[in-house]
Amino acid sequence: MNRDLTAILLGVVMGTLARFLMLRRDVRQYPSYPHSVVNHLALGFVAATLGAVAVPAIAAREFTAVTFLALAATQFREVRNMEREMLKSLEHSQLVSRGPDFIEGIARTFEARNYLVMLVAVTASGISFVSGSWLIGLATGVPVIFIARRLMKGRVIGDIARVRSARHRFEGPNIFVEDIHIMNLGLPEIRETYHRLARAAVLEPFDDNGREILANVGQRQAIAHDTATLLGIHRDVDTAEFTPLLRRNPESGRVAMLIVPIEPDEECLLEAIRNVPVLESARVKPLAAKAGKCASD
């Protein structure tokens, strides 16, 4: 087999494999229906092919072939739009919605993953082509896959805040988690259910950066959605009272969460909250700026 073909084949295989490995992380954030899996694997294959031909094409002085990469970028932006539209249209069927910030985050991730696939394919095929050995190409491609996965992992709530369980109490019709007011519940029957089944948690940010992340309403909606998905939610379409809520203490920046889960295990609740990804749109770093740092004293 000639050198071009070996390099391209290796790039395509490594790129598609990279897409497959990145797909495994989606199970929790997004239902990986068999058809969705096929969609994304196919797009990953296309991305890998485009990446894999780049270096052999340049070597063959076929410079126009590289312009296909620009075409690919347009295509993958389409992927982002497709995901966004789909998740938005499914939003009405969710008992606890994801919220626009979470949807945007997921859509952006899907787009970015295709670029990573291209990166893996370009590296594997490029190195293999230049060195003339597919083994060296393989040896470079594998670490790139893992580096790419690691870089894209992002942070989770457990990294920015201490998550601990808390107690809820009623003051008349008002329900509190520690000192944070959650909501007003009029009906005694609903209050009774809360009294019996509700579970509460408090999220204490480690620093000012964490405080501002938890202040983001989209981030809190993402926490509510993920937790409700993992533990089940004691509500139906006609019982809006049981929507999980996260409210903030404006003085300390602590956030309290109240949920009526189907599975009442507190440790699992805390684990679910800790593993919610920090959304890109919520990520702010006031401590990196002079004013933010001096204000935090």
Give residues 18-57 in contact with other proteins (rule: CB under 8 A): none
229 binds other proteins, rule: CB under 8 A: no
User: What pairs with residue 177 in β-bridges?
Assistant: 168, 180
Stretch that binds other proteins, among 40-48, 96-104, 123-131, 188-196 (CB under 8 A): 188-196
DSSP3 helix / strand / coil % (the chain, rounded to 5): 65, 15, 20
Pull the structure tokens for residue 36. Answer: 């969705």
239 binds other proteins, rule: CB under 8 A: yes
- Tell the smallest beta-carbon distance from residue 34 to other proteins (Å): 33
Residues 19, 79: Cα–Cα separation, whole Å: 14
- Tell the smallest beta-carbon distance from residue 18 to other proteins (Å): 39
Instruction: Report the residue number, 95 or 139, with the smaller CB distance to other proteins.
Output: 95
Instruction: Report the residue number, 235 or 254, with the smaller CB distance to other proteins.
Output: 235
Give the residue ranges of DSSP H helices in 95-133: 100-131
Cβ proximity of 199 and 266 under 8 Å: yes
Chosen residue from 73, 130, 139, 190 binding other proteins by CB under 8 A: 190
Residues 181, 244: Cα–Cα separation, whole Å: 14
Give residues 143-182 in contact with other proteins (rule: CB under 8 A): 172-173
Chosen residue from 240, 288, 291, 294 binding other proteins by CB under 8 A: 240
Query: By rule CB under 8 A, what count of residues binds other proteins?
Result: 16
- Tell the smallest beta-carbon distance from residue 292 to other proteins (Å): 30
Instruction: Report the residue number, 154 or 173, with the smaller CB distance to other proteins.
Output: 173
Nearest Cα to Cα of residue 51 among 122, 135, 140: 122
238 binds other proteins, rule: CB under 8 A: yes
Stretch that binds other proteins, among 16-24, 136-144, 231-239, 270-278 (CB under 8 A): 231-239
Chosen residue from 69, 185, 268, 287 binding other proteins by CB under 8 A: 185
- Give the 3-state secondary structure of residue 136: helix
| CB-based contacts of 2, cutoff 8 Å, min separation 6 | none
Chosen residue from 1, 27, 237, 288 binding other proteins by CB under 8 A: 237
Residue 12 has a CB neighbour count (10 Å cut-off) of 23
- Tell the smallest beta-carbon distance from residue 100 to other proteins (Å): 12
Q: What would the 3-class secondary structure string for 165-204 be?
A: EECEEEECCEEEECCEEEEECCCHHHHHHHHHHCEEEEEE
Residues that bind other proteins (CB under 8 A): 172-173, 183-190, 237-241, 243
